[in-house]
Amino acid sequence: MNVGLFIPCYVNQFYPGAAKATLQLLQKAGANVAYPVNQTCCGQPMANSGFEHLSNDCNNLFIKNFSSFDYIVAPSASCVLHVKDHLHSDTNEEQAAEIRSKIYELVEFLTDIIKIEKLDAVFPHKVGLHHSCHGLRGLRLSQMSELNAPSFSKPQYLLNMVKGLEQVQLDRQDECCGFGGTFCIAEEAVSVKMGKDRVADHSKNGAEYITSSDLSCLMHLEGILHRNKSKVRVIHIAEILNAAT
């Protein structure tokens, strides 16, 4: 299968290790991966700020870069959900619809398309899993605690394959971290308080690392951890799943 690797702009700028781990995981799984070098922002920040009408050029460039692939995969649930739900084009709507149907976040691609059953990964640490709102309630990577329904978690399924990893149990397993894209700018005080609550939950329960499928959430939590001089670190799930001895 031919996979187009979509690396969101903030991942490219601040967390290139997660991008490299994503590439290596896909290659290990047997995918033929290519990275379109002309890719830019998917347009989510403009859309979230009420300027979706100005993101048409971003949409058309995304279509141009990724329309030829069998699948599109990215290590960011929020960016994938934006493309899946909001990618449209005045001139290429048919191609836009096709892309919306074949873009996947890394975890769901590994579990739903590759159907991976084994990982050669080692990460001997206590890890707390943060479910991002986009991944949880948008992409349905895990069951929502507010529903009276059977539980499942695609990230936990993959983390259970990692040797030496101990998943810590949180008091509130799927609570929002407070980042919310532009929410953290418009409602800074509320955002910080929510982030502090999430950090406290992970720290209280002994996590050495906090992981997630969304680096935007991890970036928010990392800032709080840094200001608190905490020893807890953040790491994208791709880097754990790709970790060797």
Task: Going residue by residue through the chain, which has 245 residues, state the pLDDT in tens, using 9 for 90 and above.
Answer: 999 999 998 899 899 999 999 999 999 999 999 999 999 888 787 777 777 777 788 899 999 999 999 999 999 999 999 999 999 998 999 999 999 999 999 999 999 999 999 999 999 999 999 999 999 999 999 999 889 999 999 999 999 999 999 999 999 989 999 888 778 778 889 999 999 999 999 999 999 999 999 999 999 999 999 999 999 999 999 999 999 75
Task: Give the whole-angstrom CA distance, residue 219 versus residue 14.
Answer: 9
Q: Residues with Cβ < 8 Å from 88, sequence gap 6 or more? A: 59, 96
Q: How many CB atoms lie under 10 A from the CB of residue 35?
A: 13
Amino acid 52: pLDDT = 77
CB contact at 8 A, 159 and 151: no
Domains and CATH numbers, the chain: 2-113 (no CATH), 126-241 (3.40.50)
Which residue, chain included where needed, has tokens 């909001």? 86
**Single pTM value for the model:** 0.93
Burial 48-78 (b: 16+ CB within 10 A, else e): beeebeebeebbbbbbebbbebebbbbbbbb
Q: How many CB atoms lie under 10 A from the CB of residue 25?
A: 26
Helix, strand, or coil here: 4?
A: strand
CB contact at 8 A, 10 and 215: yes
